[in-house]
Amino acid sequence: MSRLRCTLLSLGLLISGALQAAVPDQQAVATAHPFATDAAHQILDQGGNAFDAAIAAAATLAVVEPQGSGLGGGGFFLLRLQQDDGVDYRFLDARETAPLAAHRDMYRDADGKVSRSASLNGPLAAGIPGLPAALVHLAERYGELPLAASLASAIEAAEKGFQVSDRYRTLGGFRLDAMRADTETARIYLRDGELPAEGTLIKQPELAATLRALAQHGHDGFYAGQTAQRLVEAVRGAGGIWQQADLDAYQVVEREPVRWHSQGHQIISAPLPSAGGIALAGILQGLESLPETERGSVQRTHYLVELMRRVYRDRTALLGDADQVEVPVARLVSADYAKTLADSISADRATPSSELGAPRAFNEGTNTTHFSLIDRHGNAVAATLSVNLPFGAAFTVPGTGVLLNNEMDDFAADPAGSNAYGLAGSEANAIAPGKRPLSSMTPTMLENDQQLAVLGTPGGSRIISMVLLGSLEAIEGQPVEQWVSRPRFHHQYLPDHIQVEDDAFSPAERAALERLGHRIKPVGRDYGDMQAVNWDKRNGELSAASDPRGEGKALARRALKAD
């Protein structure tokens, strides 16, 4: 064979490889429940794209994971659109909103004290749901299939039922009293006032009917008509403050994601009202301004903890719904600002949080869900959804199957106090009509010419640090299974200690950190439920992983050609 022919053949193979790498020609899904993973793959096999699959996954999780998400909740969707002329990213804010009758002192009693129970349990704790609007928005703006097709698996799961798992029972145990207090919640999710045994079938025919109305009528199937009437009447009848005007006003907001370049990747993450993207930008860019350290070293951990401390302090003091409060976002996500954070860190001493400003502490709900997926065209979705605490407000609207969120607790009900997750409150996150509460939900993508990483997790205030640690694993070329399984540690400014999983540090590492002045407090359990997918553009392969701490399912496989 001539040298010219060899050269041409080699060039042809290179061009062919480049074309093959341009789209994965595979599909990958990782969700917190096998039903949802299977539903997403089924939609992809039918010719749907990533956004149709996201509807199927989100709706199915809303049925089979009532402890973490639901039609009565909301969330964030980070989208990657593979287009002929390049790649675009979109962010859908489907966060719940405060009712129009809400006000900053709505949880204070006659003595001026904040009632935590009212912001956690029952309909007064519920914001206006965003997930139903998001499902319709995805179908109308981005999907290829009818909404009814994408909701079919969720409707089937609601009718035929799902089996109670150990995770359901564990999380339900934290909310058992509140669940018992509501007749409809107890009827559906308990048995004789107790948590059902593992394997018990939970059927939700009323929720199936609500999903059918959404499939048939779109936005009006939830926010108008009979469903809306039932929602408003039940909430008001039980002491809540919803009005039809709240449902009429609700809209998904498309926002510009937070983007920056760091560690050889473009990083795309959640903007306000999520604190996640801003915090990640500060930590990852701040790390680049500090002396280089070895992966997994005590010095690296020290630097990460000190950066966490500082970005969480900013969260408490500065961040809120940017539609209603002035937030210096451009400055907070800049490399220059990250360098000022890094410059304030001592290499050999932990900074007491009290030295960074007046201590304030606040709350955020722990139970949420996340899924990540990529379709054969290279479209991708990272979505984090929530009802806040497990089983939300533990209030289910009769005739609808809709279990309401208790996201109002994510506001600073007492701007000088704290919320259910120990996160500090601030004026920027005070309750106001129509406002969206600050969140830590952080769906994130990292991309360069070698990979696309898609990840996220539930976990309340610890979400940001989990996504940080997973992102560092991706940046450092570790397999996707390592992103979701690595031991975790966390610092959130207040309380002033490092929260750790039991196996996060060896005795020697713990002793070394304590010599630097860090206090370490084991959480006493594993936490998080990360779902991640990766596209290795060098060989065109997709991989997916589901956190071994949870009960999810991850599957990457060759796409069935449906188009």
Helix (H) or strand (E) holding 197: none
Each residue of 96-127: b (16+ CB within 10 Å) or e? bbbbeebebebbeeeeeebebebbbbbbbbbb
DSSP letter for 408, please.
G
Alpha-carbon distances, residue 508 vs 504, 505, 514 (angstroms) = 12, 8, 10
Q: Any known ligand binding at 439?
A: yes
Closest CA relative to residue 343, chosen from 288, 278, 397, 289? 289
Q: Any known ligand binding at 440?
A: yes
526 touches 170 (CB < 8 A) = no
Catalytic residue among 368, 442, 444, 457: 368
Q: Any known ligand binding at 73?
A: no
Q: Any known ligand binding at 460?
A: yes
**What whole-number distance in Å separates Cα of residue 533 and Cα of residue 200?**
31
Question: Rounded to 10 degrees, what is the CA torsion of 52, 55, 57, 61?
Answer: -170
Alpha-carbon distances, residue 26 vs 49, 194, 376, 383 (angstroms) = 12, 44, 4, 20
**What whole-number distance in Å separates Cα of residue 195 and Cα of residue 324?**
41
**What whole-number distance in Å separates Cα of residue 152 and Cα of residue 265?**
38
Identify the sign of the CA torsion 230, 398, 204, 186: positive
Closest CA relative to residue 386, chosen from 450, 452, 316, 438? 438
| Structure tokens, 52 | 């149709």
Rounded to 10°, the helix 147-160/205-217 angle is: 170
67 touches 391 (CB < 8 A) = yes
Has 7 been annotated as catalytic? no
Q: Any known ligand binding at 410?
A: yes
Closest CA relative to residue 431, chosen from 71, 209, 119? 119
**What whole-number distance in Å separates Cα of residue 57 and Cα of residue 384?**
11
If DSSP codes are grouped into helix, strand and coil, which group holds residue 126?
Answer: coil
Q: Any known ligand binding at 388?
A: yes
**What whole-number distance in Å separates Cα of residue 102 and Cα of residue 97?**
10
Q: Residue 219 contacts by C-beta under 8 Å, 6 or more apart in sequence?
A: 132, 133, 136
**What whole-number distance in Å separates Cα of residue 340 and Cα of residue 332?**
10
125 touches 460 (CB < 8 A) = no
Give the strands of the sheet with 541-546, arranged side by side: 258-262, 265-269, 444-447, 451-456, 531-536, 541-546
Q: Any known ligand binding at 376?
A: no
> Which amino acids are annotated catalytic?
368
Q: Which residues fall in the annotated binding site for L-glutamate? A: 95, 386-388, 410, 439-440, 460
* Residues flagged as binding site: 95, 386-388, 410, 439-440, 460
